[in-house]
Amino acid sequence: MKAQRKHALDALENLGFRAQRSKLRQLLHEREFAVFDAYRGVLKAGRIGNATPQSIEELAASLDPSSPTHERVEQREITTNARQREVQAFGPRKRALQLFVADLIRAIHPPRANQYLFHGGIPAAIAAVEAAYQRGMTHAVELDVKAFYDSIPFAFLADVLRPLPKAVVRHVVFDETIRVRPLSASTTIIRRAMVPAPLNETQGIPLGAATSPIAGEVIVGQLLAAHEIDYGPDIITYADNLLVLGRSEWEASARAEHLTDVAARPAYGSLRLRLKERGHLLPNGTSSGGGFSSGVIFAGQFGSVDARGVFSWEPAPDRRLQHQIADGEVCPTAEQIDKALRRVSAFHRAYPKWREREQREARDRAMLTSARYLRLATPENLSVATRDIALACLLNRQSSDIPELVPDYGPMYDGKRQRLLTEAGHLLDRIFAQDTAAEQAA
């Protein structure tokens, strides 16, 4: 069934507008693959453990993308890159419909080649930046869309997603059933009342819906396709992050300003682009003025190029700081330290082209395990912290780094801190002595 479904969607992509509209209506009406969509909805909603073949078939029979779906929706707060956001968590019925419609949208409105959310993600996006650099694009301006999902009007969305029927846009992509939260309802219920949305609440698509990312890509893609934008290949996007490239400070700035003006027009959704960062990829001292700093920031990645033309991509400063909890004036709790330690390896693995990734990971780990020993001075914590400090010093080739790797939280911790410094120093002395002896023997 999965292969048949893919074949049907692939065929849809190659049809003209009228033929697409006819085929869409057929797929929406006949629901040939409803059981597959129902299974995916149950799986993505985290309900697969309680599902049975019968319950999935019953769910499939009830799916109707052209009508409202009144199902419990939870509001959840998540933290991504030190930023807290509220997202909606959907049940299996809404999730199944969203996944089905999202696939239809991707088939009739495939993202452009320079939109990388669905074309290889961050690795492909930064590879595109490197390729642009080889073409002489040395300056960049990063923009993003202010309140992107919250600011999309229904009428504009329905027009952009044509030939997807307006009813499907209204009830699945826009989802009017979650427009308001009744005062009498639980705080975890966004909407239970079965009434139309009020007239003054006609904007926004749900954050957390499976349809929202591809709908956003279609809107950004329409902007990139604007005939006023003749430098389209020199814009690289990842979701609502747009990197505008140029051969000089003036060209990159002028293009970014022009793109901002075009995006603000109603024909493109009245998008409010805002400046985030401006940077260049030239050797230090060769670019001045215009507020361009050395290095380019894009989608949380900081890119720089050395004298040999080799790129390094590391976390942007704001992302790096969120993992350095041991740097503060107060010793973190054991729970905070353990949480940071669980994340530090995965965090660094997310930046495989970071030139100093291993050294930075070793330093971050050493500071965290040192803080854990200062918080709880057990022999095991002392041994682990001593080992991590030694490893960080060896990778950075500097034994003088030891005091920098052991946080100073004030007089209360002085005794434990001094013991850790002493133990780490003795371990490094033994290592260096063994290395010297081995070299002499050789």
Q: How far apart are CA 23 and CA 45, in angstroms?
A: 28
Per-residue model confidence as pLDDT tens digits over 10-63:
888 888 888 889 888 888 887 778 899 999 999 998 899 888 999 999 999 999
- As a whole number, mean pLDDT of residues 311-328 equals 80
pLDDT band at 418 (very low <50, low <70, confident <90, very high): very high
Whether the predicted pLDDT of 187 surpasses 50: no
Whether the predicted pLDDT of 190 surpasses 50: no
Position 240, amino acid: D
pLDDT for 240: 92
Percent of the chain at pLDDT exceeding 70:
88
Q: Taking Cα atoms as reference points, which of 62, 68, 100 lies closest to residue 171? A: 68
Distance of CA 26 to the CA centre of its chain: 35
CB neighbours of residue 244 within 10 Å:
27
- As a whole number, mean pLDDT of residues 94-115 equals 94
User: 393: part of which helix (H) or strand (E)?
Assistant: helix 379-396
Whether the predicted pLDDT of 181 surpasses 60: no
pLDDT for 289: 52
Average pLDDT over the chain reads 85
Can you spell out the DSSP letters for 395-437? HHT-GGGHHHHS----GGGHHHHHHHHHHHHHHHHHHHHHHHH
Percent of the chain at pLDDT exceeding 90:
50
pLDDT for 437: 66
pLDDT for 86: 78
pLDDT for 200: 43
- 107 vs 324: which has the higher pLDDT: 107
pLDDT band at 209 (very low <50, low <70, confident <90, very high): very high
pLDDT for 439: 65
Whether the predicted pLDDT of 202 surpasses 80: no
CA angle 137, 360, 119 (to 5 degrees): 45
- As a whole number, mean pLDDT of residues 351-378 equals 90
pLDDT for 234: 92
Q: How far apart are CA 37 and CA 72, in angstroms?
A: 19
- 242 vs 323: which has the higher pLDDT: 242
pLDDT band at 442 (very low <50, low <70, confident <90, very high): low
Residue 152, helix vs strand vs coil:
coil
- As a whole number, mean pLDDT of residues 396-424 equals 87
pLDDT for 203: 64
pLDDT band at 279 (very low <50, low <70, confident <90, very high): very high
Q: How far apart are CA 383 and CA 67, in angstroms?
A: 63
- As a whole number, mean pLDDT of residues 136-155 equals 92
pLDDT band at 193 (very low <50, low <70, confident <90, very high): very low
pLDDT band at 355 (very low <50, low <70, confident <90, very high): confident
pLDDT for 192: 36
Q: Which two tokens stand for residue 70?
A: 């009144």
